[in-house]
Structure 1
Amino acid sequence: MRHLLFSLLFLVGLIGCTTQTEKKEVAETPPTQEEIIARGRYLVSSIGCEDCHTPKVMSDHGPIPDPENHFAGHMEGDLRDKVAKDALSSWLLFNMSLTSAVGPWGISYAANISSDESGVGTWTDEQFIRAMREGQYKGLEGTRKLLPPMPWQNFSNLTDDDLKAMLAYLKSTKPIRNVVPEPVSPADF
Structure 2
Amino acid sequence: MVRFARSALCVVIAASTLAHAAPGKEKSIARGRYLVEISGCNDCHTPGFAMSGGKVPEKEWLTGDQLGWQGPWGTTYPPNLRLSLQKMSEQEWIKFARTAELRPPMPFWALRTMKTEDLRAIHRYVKTLAPAGDPAPAYLPPGQEAKGPVVKFPAPPK
Same fold flag (TM > 0.5): yes
**Aligned residue in 2 for 1:131:** 96
The answer on 1:101 being equivalent to 2:90 is no
The structure with the largest alpha-carbon Rg is 1
Is 1:45 paired with 2:37?
yes
Aligned positions, number: 122
Looking at secondary structure, tell me which structure has more helix per residue. Answer: 2
Q: Which amino acid aligns with 2:134?
A: N
Unpaired runs of 5+ residues, structure 2, are 1-21, 146-158
Q: For structure 1, which runs of at least 5 residues remain unmatched after alignment?
A: 1-29, 77-94, 136-144
2:62 equivalent in structure 1:
71
The answer to whether the aligner puts 1:172 opposite 2:128 as a matched pair is yes
Q: TM-score, normalised by structure 1?
A: 0.57
What is the CA–CA distance in structure 1 between the aligned matches of 2:53 and 2:38, rounded to whole Å?
Answer: 17
RMSD: 2.4
Asked if structure 2 preserves the Cα contact closer than 8 Å seen for 1:56 and 1:63, the reply is: yes
Contact 1:37 1:169 in 2 (8 A): yes
Higher RCO structure, 1 or 2 (CA under 8 Å, sep 6+): 2
Partner Cα distance (1:151, 1:133) in 2: 12
Secondary structure at the counterpart of residue 26 of structure 2? helix
- Report the TM-score when normalising by structure 2: 0.67
